[in-house]
Structure 1
Amino acid sequence: MAYDLESQEKLDALRAWWDRYGTLCAVVVFVVVAAFAGWRGWQWYQGHQAAQAMGYFEALETATGQKGDDAVTRIKAASATLRSDFPESGYTSRGLLVAAEALRARNDLDGARDQLQWLVQHGKDPALVPLARLRLAGILLDQKQYDQALAQLNDAPAAFAGLYADRRGDILAAQGKKAEAKAAWEEAVKQLGQESVTQIIKLKIDALGGA
């Protein structure tokens, strides 16, 4: 009998505890399960997005190796999808650089400029955005948009200081500003310090004559 009473007391205590905390426990369990499911769902979504972005990037790369107007159309279409649907993806930044170079090689300077301007304005990769600015300055130089080209070279990141100075010299030389171009190229030589690169820049300086 004592054993039965003890068991009953334990059951009564358990019921009392459940009446007091049962709803809270159920809520906690639900929240934990929902959070885990949400986390797994987010992981799946991120992986799915990355796979899709990679597919468009690969399609863009494939199109760059093809010829004709259809190839240009495919390059621009893949790039547009990457920008609109996957703006945060690393594939998008790399894809736009690839697209810009392919379009520049096809003498579609407006198309190349469009790719690089988007990357400069919206890109997230701190290594690729400065490179996009450098290449955009080159496109603007080709289009004789000298002031806009120079604007892209303001506030040069330390790693790009020499390359930016070299491009600035190119732009200033195109404007006929020989002394300023020479100063920019001399700064590029100082910053780069690579014999193979600086020899080319020194040739540009020599070509200015007595500036």
Structure 2
Amino acid sequence: MAKHLDLEEQEQLDQVKHLWQRYGNAITWVLILVLAGFAGWNGWQYWQRSQAAKAAALYDEVDRAARAGDTARLERAFGDIRDGYGNTAYAQQAGLVAGKVLHEKGNADAAKAALGWVGEKSSDPAYQALAKLRLAGLLFDAKAYDDALKQLGGSFAGEFAALAADRRGDILAAQDKKAEALAEYRKAYAGLDARSGYRRMVEVKLNAMGVDPTTTASTTTTGAAK
């Protein structure tokens, strides 16, 4: 009986050897690829965490410089985070902070550059929209109307679309293009939440142009009901 079992075991071993000789190299390479992929994934995760931690430290430096009103230090810190970790959310937030503070401190060119970078490079639609709206505002103040309108081209997500329309209305009104401005203000009014204080501001602009948007909306609704 023992001898019979020994023969079966020998046959099984022979089959394993045969299979290994035939498929051993392929199995080995599959294992190597799987392990390499696992190691690579872990390495990528570690690198991502490391990048985020370094970017966070630099963002703290940007924030401290902004609070202190130290524009030279702010520009250096923003340059470091932009150049080293530009694909992180921290860098894009830093650009918005830098743009705001540099504008407040009278450094218009640096403010425009920071906001322009966020508007162009950010992968986050909200950061991108904020940067373009703020930059359009700076350009509007500088009477660079065509450049301001370029920042407001394309699509804006959600309520940002209404804010962009309102800003386009301001620019067009400044260019004495009343009909175009009125159309943009109407878009803004329609796109803003009825409870929004900003909507009231747009309503005031429409009233100043001889339009009551509440009456228009009511008339439109009545007409549709008929």
User: TM-score range, shorter-chain basis?
Assistant: 0.7 to 0.9
Query: Does residue 74 of structure 2 align to residue 84 of structure 1?
Result: no
Query: Does residue 138 of structure 2 align to residue 139 of structure 1?
Result: yes
Task: Give the conservation status (yes or no) of the 8 Å contact 2:159–2:191.
Answer: no
Task: Give the conservation status (yes or no) of the 8 Å contact 2:136–2:151.
Answer: yes
1:5-154 alignment to 2 at 5 Å? 5-67=7-69, 71-154=70-153
Please list the CA deviations of residues 181-209 of structure 1 after superposition, one character each: whole Å capped at 9, or x if unmatched: 45544543343344622443454556679
Task: Give the conservation status (yes or no) of the 8 Å contact 2:65–2:73.
Answer: yes
Task: Give the conservation status (yes or no) of the 8 Å contact 1:156–1:164.
Answer: no
Alpha-carbon deviation of 1:81? 2.2
Alpha-carbon deviation of 1:103? 1.0
TM-score, normalised by the number of residues in structure 1:
0.83
Cα distance in structure 2, aligned partners of 1:24 and 1:183: 67
Task: Give the conservation status (yes or no) of the 8 Å contact 2:115–2:134.
Answer: yes
Cα distance in structure 1, aligned partners of 2:44 and 2:28: 24
Taking a change above 3 Å as real, the CA distance of residues 7 and 102 of structure 1, as seen in their structure-2 partners, is: same
Corresponding residue of 2:162: 162
130-139 vs 187-196, greater mean Cα deviation: 187-196
Gaps of 5+ in 1: none
Alpha-carbon deviation of 1:160? 2.2
Instruction: Give % identity.
Output: 40
Please list the CA deviations of residues 111-154 of structure 1 after superposition, one character each: whole Å capped at 9, or x if unmatched: 11001111122111112212211111101012221111122222
Gaps of 5+ in 2: 211-226
Cα distance in structure 2, aligned partners of 1:39 and 1:176: 58
Pairs aligned (count): 206
